[in-house]
A and B are shown apart, each in its own frame.
Chain A
Amino acid sequence: MRAPHIYILLALAGLALVFADQLNSYWMHVAIIAMYYGILSASWSLLAGSVGLFSLSHMAFAAIGAYTSALLIKWYGIPIPVGMAAGVVMCCAIGGLIGWVCLRMSGPYLAIFTLGFSEIVRITIATEDDVTAGMAGLHTEPLFQSAATRLPYFYAAFALLVVSLLLMGLLVRSRWGLFLRAIREDEQAAAASGVAVARFRILAFAIASGFAGLAGGFYAHYIPIITPSMGDLNEMAKLVVMTVIGGMERLPTAVGGAIVVEFLLEELRDYGQWRLPLFGIILLLTMRFARNGLLTPIWLRFVRIGEAPGSAPPGIGEEKGSEA
């Protein structure tokens, strides 16, 4: 049996789907929100981990996706999936534009630029309250009108997460994914080897922003009210914490980070305010002593289940790990 870890994952996913209705309403909500963050952290890891573009506007794109969808549905009464798709298209377009504008910027400059962009998005949404309802929050249509429980949302979030991961995984494993990683390691060397650096940087921004918009669109029609703070710096910090603690270089570890951190945040509710600085410390320790993320070693062991011990040189194990 080749790659038994895939079968284990499939079995776990099957179990999650079958026994989802056993979860009580509260933990199902936590699971749905965890999957929302899962899509965001996977797409952010695509941008920050794979291409090395440390963007701080990812949550702003989630907000753009959410507000685009909610407002279009409010104004024109279009079906919700169409609204969400419009949000994704909007985020791809703006994301591509941002990617194009900051082509020349590296590391800290890009971070400052995207920080500025996310502030503008937040301020605009909060201030133009006759359109967006501002800080009071915009009421949105629920995705499932007649749903008595959260179960349909759970399945929807699960499907979105799986589809997003498959698409991103295919991208990362493809030739394009190789180009993206080459850009991250050394932009000039990649350009010298014939990678169209500009095109792929724009592409990466557009794709990652599109997934952020998708997550935001789902969130908008799950939570009945959205506020500008869903795209603010605190949310962005939470996303960074999740992704980096899990491991920002691989999609599965990024998603795992989001899910583990979201569940821990709920589980540790008794500690109230202390949870946030605690995760801040964990983030700092992770960066200082285990930069690949805390879940990465576990994942690397996991994908090698079934192989004869010591049969593969470590390099190959590394390669496998980058597969979704």
Chain B
Amino acid sequence: MSWDYFFVQVANGAVIGVIYALIAVGVTLIFSILKIVNFAHGDLYMLGGYCAYYVIEFLEFQPLAAMVVAMVALFVLAIILERLLLTPLYSDTTERKDEYGLIVTFGLAYFLRNIAVIAFGPFPLKPPSFIPGVLRIDNLILTNDRLVAAGIGIVLIAGLLYFMQRTIWGQALDAVSQSRDSAAIVGINARRFNSFAFGIGAALAAAAGALVAPIFSLAPDMGVLPNIHAYVIVILGGMGSVTGSIIAGVMLGEAENLFTAYFPDATRAFAYSNAFGVVMLMIFLVFRPQGLFGRRHLRME
């Protein structure tokens, strides 16, 4: 195997890793505020991709503008869904909130995936490229779409980090994630931040869907695997840790791509690359549930 092949794989892995991170950051954010694992996250990602596609197709927006429209649309949709379905999570009279959150988001995923088959059809769709063409440095070839996806992904993640650490709203969000009661004492309306966190998570997933669409094309079940990848990342990075998710996302993207590229049996490599991430997930859950970077899981025991 040549070095060129290796570098192409590393570059592809980094691009996919950034996209994974973008999805996983939303899962982590939602978990740290609402204390639920969102099983419908992959389907919000799928909706984001389709939303961008139809905005490009019918309103003839630029792909980048369409991505922003998709983010706003999913932000609003997620807040509506959260208001409709998740409010019992905040009530003291609801028993076994874990179970409620699990089944409701699982049911939501089932609903969204099946309604997507009806609304968008079962056949894959492909929106136009952000910037057509390829980038070539010596023998290293990357499509521009992958570069754009990685670039915008990094900008969005950086924006989120800035927002979380440097703005008053972000700090309030962090406060709610650390202690709901203490946040309430200093005058933060925790309920509003529940909606807000769910919306932000969905908007990031929508951005990931819009960015990935020109690379892999859209299908109603496109969210299933990224959803599982997001869990792998979230467990690796530590549930609730945004920075951990980013690092783990890129690591998983690299690990999977290199695994696929160098697995001896090429016909099985792709199938097992998905299993590879899941095996990592299971090993980590058993042996190091706090993740690589050691932020304690809030309710592991």
Q: Which residues of A contact B (CB under 8 A)?
A: 48, 52, 54, 101-102, 104-109, 111-113, 115-117, 119-120, 123-124, 126-127, 184, 233, 237, 240-241, 244, 273-274, 276-277, 280-281, 283-284, 287-288, 291
Known: A54-B102, A119-B275, A280-B111. A104 touches B301 (CB 8 A): yes
Since A116-B279, A276-B110 are in contact, a sample of 5 more A-B pairs with Cβ atoms closer than 8 Å, ordered by chain A residue number, is A48-B99, A115-B231, A116-B232, A240-B110, A276-B117
A48 partner residues in chain B, CB cutoff 8 A: 99
Contact A116 B281, beta carbon cutoff 8 Å: yes
Contact B107 A113, beta carbon cutoff 8 Å: no
Contact with A along B117-128 (1 / 0, CB 8 A): 110000000000
Bound Cα distance A88, B65 (Å): 55
Contacts of B197-253 to chain A: CB distance below 8 A: 224, 228, 231-232, 235
- B160 at the A/B interface (Cβ < 8 Å)? no
Contact B272 A237, beta carbon cutoff 8 Å: no
Q: Which residues of B contact A (CB under 8 A)?
A: 31, 36-37, 39, 84-85, 88, 96, 98-104, 106-112, 114-115, 117-118, 224, 228, 231-232, 235, 268, 271-272, 274-275, 278-279, 281-282, 285-286, 289, 297, 299-301
Contact A277 B103, beta carbon cutoff 8 Å: no
B109 partner residues in chain A, CB cutoff 8 A: 237
Q: Which listed residue (B85, B231, B274, B279) contacts A112, Cβ 8 A?
A: B231
Contact A112 B110, beta carbon cutoff 8 Å: no
Contact A287 B104, beta carbon cutoff 8 Å: yes
Q: How far is the CB of A159 from chain B (nearest CB, A)?
A: 31
Bound Cα distance A170, B143 (Å): 62
Contact B268 A109, beta carbon cutoff 8 Å: no
B99 partner residues in chain A, CB cutoff 8 A: 48, 52, 54, 107
Q: Which 4 A-B pairs have the closest CB atoms?
A: A280-B111, A107-B98, A276-B114, A108-B37
Q: How far is the CB of B260 from chain A (nearest CB, A)?
A: 13
Known: A104-B300, A105-B285, A109-B300. A280 touches B271 (CB 8 A): no
Q: Which listed residue (B85, B117, B224, B274) contacts A284, Cβ 8 A?
A: B85
Bound Cα distance A101, B88 (Å): 31
Contact A288 B37, beta carbon cutoff 8 Å: no
Contact B110 A111, beta carbon cutoff 8 Å: no
Bound Cα distance A105, B299 (Å): 9
A106 partner residues in chain B, CB cutoff 8 A: 98, 299-301
Known: A123-B275, A127-B271, A273-B118. A117 touches B282 (CB 8 A): yes
Can you list 25 A-B contacts with CB-CB less than 8 angstroms, sorted by A residue number? A54-B99, A54-B102, A54-B103, A101-B286, A104-B300, A104-B301, A106-B299, A108-B31, A108-B36, A108-B37, A109-B289, A116-B281, A120-B279, A241-B107, A274-B118, A276-B117, A280-B110, A280-B114, A283-B103, A283-B111, A284-B108, A287-B85, A287-B104, A288-B85, A288-B104
